[in-house]
């Protein structure tokens, strides 16, 4: 749960059986992608091809899993519909 949809501030989990909220540890930075952006900049600045290839492979794996799950649940983009 979040205070506002799309907001990563004050994330917490609610246990369904007892309705107690448990705070989740999270960085309270206003841009929750700041660390990723810094790493991307480092990869580019240092021409770190190995890190680039590893992240690219991970991205393809994640896309494959999300596509499989979408298809299994009947969630299709308009361009995927026959």
Tokens read off for 27: 């960085």
Q: 18 pLDDT exceeds 90? A: no
Q: What percent of the chain has pLDDT over 70?
A: 66
Helices (H), the chain: 34-45, 49-72
Residue numbers of the domain that contains 22: 1-28
Q: Tell me how many domains the chain contains.
A: 2
Query: Taking the complete model, does pTM exceed 0.85, yes or no?
Result: no
2 phi and psi angles, rounded to 5 deg: -130, 155
Same domain, 39 and 71: yes
Is residue 10 located within the same domain as residue 23?
A: yes
Nearest 5°: CA angle at 14, between 12 and 19? Answer: 140
Give 45-65 pLDDT, tens digit per residue.
999 999 999 999 999 999 999
Residue 31 scores a pLDDT above 90: no
Distance CA 42, CA 79 (A): 35
Same domain, 42 and 20: no
Asked whether the beta carbons of 35 and 26 are under 8 A apart, the reply is: no
């Amino acid at each position: 749960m979040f205070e506002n949809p799309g907001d990563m501030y004050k994330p917490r989990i609610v246990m369904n059986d007892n309705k107690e909220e448990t705070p989740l540890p999270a960085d309270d930075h206003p841009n929750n992608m700041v660390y990723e952006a810094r790493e991307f900049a480092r990869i580019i600045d240092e021409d770190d091809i190995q890190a680039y290839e590893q992240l690219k492979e991970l991205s393809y794996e994640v896309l494959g899993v999300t596509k499989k799950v979408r298809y299994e649940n009947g969630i299709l983009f308009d361009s995927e519909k026959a």
